[in-house]
Amino acid sequence: MGVFQNFCNGTDCTQQDRMFGYSYLAGMMCQLCLVPLTGLLMDRIGLRVTKFVAVSILCVGSLFFAFTSASAPYLLFPACMFVGLGSFASLFCNYNICSMFVRVRGLTVSLLTGVYDSSSAIAFFVSQTYPKVTIQTSFIILACGTLIYGSLMAVFILTQKEEDMVPPGQNALESPQHKQG
């Protein structure tokens, strides 16, 4: 791909490694610092819209990865940021599925977390298909799949609000669940 190849001089590619590290760090910082916005969005505009926003951010990040090249290496920074934030926000929205399975809520949480953590298998799959399928094509397929799957999940599985979520503008102490308890 030749990303940040101009930072290599002869046998020393320390600067190139540093740039990859910076892009990863930018993605992690974005993910960890901005993920509280997911909770605010879920409380204010609901699960469906939040899931659509998260999936859209993830799709855009995947497209940034697809078009990162030697001529556009700095697309790696927004790619890492968007994928980090979009994937984590999408995972948080998916956690609400656990309330549908009350008897096995713990198992459902662990399965969803395991699927999220095993996403490195996708990178392995992409690397194994690389000679036949380009990395750009792989990320475009991933972006399209993410958009389709996430949108279907938002429309058919997630509800606008969960039963235990307080409607926007209502204080948690005023909620019907709190008054009954």
62: domain CATH number is 1.20.1250.20
For the chain, the domain total comes to 1
The parent domain of residue 95 ranges over: 14-160
Please compute the mean of the pLDDT values over residues 139-157 and round it to a whole number.
91
Q: CA–CA distance from 95 to each of 112, 173, 177 (Å)?
A: 7, 24, 21
Rounded to the nearest 5°, which phi and psi values hold at 137?
A: -65, -40
Is 2 within a domain? no
Is 75 within a domain? yes
What are 24-78's pLDDT values in tens digits?
A: 999 999 989 988 899 899 888 888 899 999 999 999 999 999 999 999 999 999 9
Q: What is the pLDDT of residue 5?
A: 87
Q: Which of 142, 120, 119 is nearest to 63 (CA)?
A: 142
Is 4 within a domain? no
Is 169 within a domain? no
CA–CA dist 26, 30 (Å, integer): 6
Handedness of CA 156, 161, 163, 164 (dihedral sign): positive
Q: Which of 116, 124, 2 is nearest to 69 (CA)?
A: 2
Is 180 within a domain? no
Is 174 within a domain? no
Instruction: State the pTM of this model.
Output: 0.81
Cβ neighbors of 154 (< 8 A, separation 6 or more) are 47, 48, 51, 52, 55, 93
